[in-house]
Chains A and B, each alone.
Chain A
């Protein structure tokens, strides 16, 4: 039986006899589910070092505090009409979202590549394609929770403040569809950057700059073009940032309010925005899968 470790020398090999494993072995589905859950928890620092929990938890609190304050205002003052706009919440807190996405995508996409753990994953039954897709799914759901949770808090708060249920439910669901799209686009772009840069610092920098600069460019160009009365140029530029892209979809197709200067005003433009969203996700996933399949040979 197990003997106590003797003396200061570590690494004494205990002789307790080897027991072979005869129990059930689950398929790749179970492995994929386990990888998904572990990845999702890791994105919030759970199951990692204590320090790793600091940033994601702080950012999540920063996302929730404004929602909590708004709920408090609604409940105490009985303000329910025209006070809330679920769809614009993510755009208002864009900076916090961008920092979360940029900082946590490397946890799922750079860490295994950098530490070499990828070769342990690929030496197990789950194929590289599934590995890449599950990693993406973890990041997608992590971002979805990050953005969706405060919006859900707002919604629940509005219901407790006895707001109009049908109206708020419709707005909330429309906003959530937009948030799902936004999470998918952000997960894809940040995942691609993190996998290819491999270095956490670099990935964080590139993602933050790309997301903020693209959104800044959209706002600036739309301001100029709308003054010149050139709406088409403004609409085309709106395709460049994930935030304006998804904002356009939820404003035009889902009946939400836009937070940008030049939202799509016809169904055609709305559909184009949607198609671009889905194309970005599809192309990004294809690139990610291709990248991870190449890693097998390393």
Chain B
């Protein structure tokens, strides 16, 4: 059984549909939730936390129903919202201790864990400063600390890399990955940047306009497509010459940017044939590589698919 399961989860705001018939089963580990702004990522998280009511459908987190057992779910999960959520006139240490107490930790344990967690997210001496004076990167760390302080079994991280510079972004992604792999806390992390999630998550869920586009392991997204990519170099229009010759040999191919995409899976002599063809045409063979998918491709296919309807 998955840690998160949804059945036909739908959320409408008047005429606007934020989520449409979402069926999901998510296991532990790091799960990336991808979608454009407004795809329904934050709405899904809020429904799972029991903060928003679903219009239709049901969902369970750790087997607890979102409608009836919201309080139990909220003891087991941590939440880092997308927007600002830190009072400016409080020190990070005091705030994180307070939040630990709000999750039911006794006073001494709350203080110990707050200090520990702030160290883990990389707030050292800064934790004794008022949070109003924090940079965006420090605020994101403090937000993450309050989500982890009660040692949840699952954390929802809504756009944790938002507004960070590239170095801070890398640090945050490393931290997210660490939470999932070393801390043993499952993570549901959202982003509108696909490349980021490709790096940290075991599993990726793609939402588009409130619908589930795809949910599968990250390795599947980046699997071999069965296509071969060839790049040639030579006088004049080497690419066209090579392509025409390949077609003459009965190999289906088409140009893709500066490359030639060859779609002939299962032909054992394909590599030799390409090499020989290149020699015939008199061009230099620069690259001959298997084509790997990227998460973006799924998005593009899915969006194109949706438009065709």
Contacts and interface: CB of A to CB of B under 8 A. Distances in A.
B52 A28 contact: no
Contacts of B74: 123-125
Given A20-B184, A49-B89, A125 B105 contact: no
Interface in B211-241: none
B54 to A, nearest CB: 11
B93 to A, nearest CB: 11
B95 to A, nearest CB: 8
A116 B81 CA distance: 9
B86 A115 contact: yes
Nearest to A115: B87
B46 interface: yes
Instruction: Report whether over half of chain A's contact residues are helix, strand or loop; otherwise say mixed.
Output: loop
6 contacts: A17-B182, A115-B85, A118-B85, A120-B81, A123-B74, A124-B102
B56 to A, nearest CB: 16
A57 to B, nearest CB: 15
A119 B175 contact: no
B81 A119 contact: yes
Given A18-B183, A23-B109, A112-B87, A35 B102 contact: yes
A14 B90 contact: no
A44 B109 CA distance: 26
Nearest to B117: A18
A116 B84 contact: yes
A110 to B, nearest CB: 11
A12 interface: yes
Interface string A87-115: 00000000000000000000000011001
Nearest to B85: A116
A138 B126 CA distance: 29
**Size class of the A contact interface (CB-based, 8 Å):** 35 or more
Contact of A296 (B52, B122, B174): B52
A125 B183 CA distance: 22
A47 interface: yes
A69 to B, nearest CB: 34
For A25, A115, A122, A123, the residue with the greatest tally of chain B CB atoms inside 10 Å of its CB is A123
A23 B105 CA distance: 8
Contact of A117 (B86, B150, B171): B86
Contacts, number: 136
A19 B87 CA distance: 27
A26 interface: yes
Contacts of A14: 119-120, 122, 124
A26 B113 CA distance: 15
A116 B99 CA distance: 14
Contacts of A28: 71, 104
A120 B84 contact: no
A297 to B, nearest CB: 5
A51 to B, nearest CB: 8
Contacts of B53: 297
A82 interface: no
A157 to B, nearest CB: 36
Contacts of A291: none
Interface in A17-74: 17-21, 23-28, 30-31, 34-35, 38, 47-49, 51-52
The 8 closest A-B pairs by CB, nearest first: A21-B151, A116-B85, A123-B79, A34-B101, A18-B183, A11-B122, A25-B104, A13-B122
Contacts of A77: none
Contacts of A284: none
B171 A13 contact: yes
A120 B146 contact: yes
A119 B85 contact: yes
Given A11-B141, A25-B104, A297 B71 contact: no
B138 interface: yes
A34 B184 CA distance: 29
Contacts of A23: 105-106, 109
Interface string B157-175: 0000000000010010011
